[in-house]
Amino acid sequence: MPRIHQLVDRLAVDPPQSPQSYQVTLSELKSHLDTSPDDLDLDTIEALSQHANPYLSWCSSEGAALVLEIVDTSCPGRKIDDFVEEKVVPRMQTLPSSQKTTSAGYAAKRTLGGLKPRLGFTQSEPEPSTPETTYSMIYFCISCQHKGTWYSSRWSLVTSFVLKVLDNPSAVIKIQGCRLLDHFLSFPQATSLLDRTGLRDLFSESSKVCLTYLPGLTPLDQSLPLLDIAYGVMFKLEGKNVLKMLDLLSGILRAILSKINEPEIQNSEYKLPILLLQKLKECLGTLEHRFVASLSRINYTLNQVIVNPGATEHEMGAAMVSEAVKVQLFMISTAESYGNECLKLVTSYKLDMLGAWAVALKRFDDENLPKAIQEGYRRLKQLDEKDEQLQKAVSAISTNFNVAFT
């Protein structure tokens, strides 16, 4: 058997092997193709495509990087064109298409109508499951959109598949859909394509549904990864739409308050508000100075997190409070970079910040939290060394709370 066929056989994922073993094979394949590039046929490219998605169980980021190196050095664009036509298109034709798009891949026109009654007790058949290798094949296509000419006429293979995956009710599958979309959005040409085809709103609607998969309704180990990637995708999709970004911001604030006000929160459940606070910081960074439109609600929410009495009973409660203080520090830094007017708006809440910080210092015995709070105080002090209001507040806090800011 030729050497190239031996290597391709070792890349088979049925049954899957460890990512490390595949990485060794990919490295050997790269070395082989460096000296014998003509051995790269469509079967080899298909085998490579099954290792391009680093988020599948048999893949790794190192292996995916090797796949891209092989494509860049040994695979001409015409072979990617042939691979798409002869391998990807037939597989996509076996899968159900999204009803939200036309056959050409554009957003379909929406029709208004009433409910469509059914006669009898008919039950729709469940859709066939999508092989996991398809997720990697599409991830590979996204990575190779600059190779050959296929993308100009076959881009809908990617967008229709990703939209269909996003609309699957399974949280696990939605995670894969968001990761595919996130990868797609990392390429500059995605922006013009989404706007030209009307797909931006469709992707935004489908991604926004993922934000409802909260713990309690969804297992924690599925909910948190989904929320993490879904918020990131939403920020990329709507980052230039201030109104939609402010709406996302409001949703994050509501979700934080809803969770911290639940009775008897378990230690592991603080992972949700910690993640939401991290996403709040990311949202503020995307909005830049425009976040001041919601400044009072942001300040209220962060202070409610910091003084939350239930957080003192759990180790992760202190981590949540530290995360909230970090958001406040980020707000100060961001405002500072946009001039005095923006900074004055943020620092007008400095007494609220100091009061909440004093409560937290009094309640928590945590080595990391005081560092974050003291950094916050130093930042406020540096902005105006002669701020008498700040000095009086610190003095009063020191006297009444026996808490020292340094």
pLDDT in tens, 31-77: 999 999 999 999 999 999 999 999 999 999 999 999 999 999 999 99
Question: Which has the closest alpha carbon to 52: 124, 140, 120, 123?
Answer: 140
- Predicted confidence at residue 128, as pLDDT, reads 61
pLDDT above 80: residue 117? no
CA-to-CA distance for 205 and 88, rounded, in angstroms? 27
- Give residue-wise pLDDT tens across range 297-352: 999 999 999 999 989 888 899 999 999 999 999 999 999 999 999 999 999 999 99
- Give residue-wise pLDDT tens across range 242-254: 999 999 999 999 9
| Mean pLDDT score, 265-294 | 96
| Residues 358, 399 contacting (CB under 8 angstroms) | no
Choose the weakest-confidence range: 49-58, 196-205, 395-404: 395-404
* Per-residue confidence band for 23, with pLDDT thresholds at 50, 70 and 90: very high
Cα separations in angstroms, 82 against 45, 78, 183: 10, 6, 23
Q: Residue ranges per domain, the chain?
A: 240-406
Neighbours of 46 (CB within 10 A): 19
Assigned token pair, 331 = 């707000």
| Mean pLDDT score, 364-393 | 85
The pTM assigned to this predicted structure is: 0.92
Assigned token pair, 10 = 């070792």
350-363 and 315-336 are packed helices; what angle lies between their axes, rounded to 10 degrees? Answer: 160
| Mean pLDDT score, 367-377 | 87
| Residues 281, 327 contacting (CB under 8 angstroms) | yes
Between these two residues, 145 and 125, which has the higher pLDDT value?
A: 145
* Per-residue confidence band for 395, with pLDDT thresholds at 50, 70 and 90: confident
Choose the weakest-confidence range: 9-18, 21-30, 120-129, 368-377: 120-129
SS3 41: coil
DSSP codes of every residue in 99-132? TTB-TTSSBPPP--------STT--PPPPPPPPH
- Predicted confidence at residue 305, as pLDDT, reads 97
- Predicted confidence at residue 391, as pLDDT, reads 84
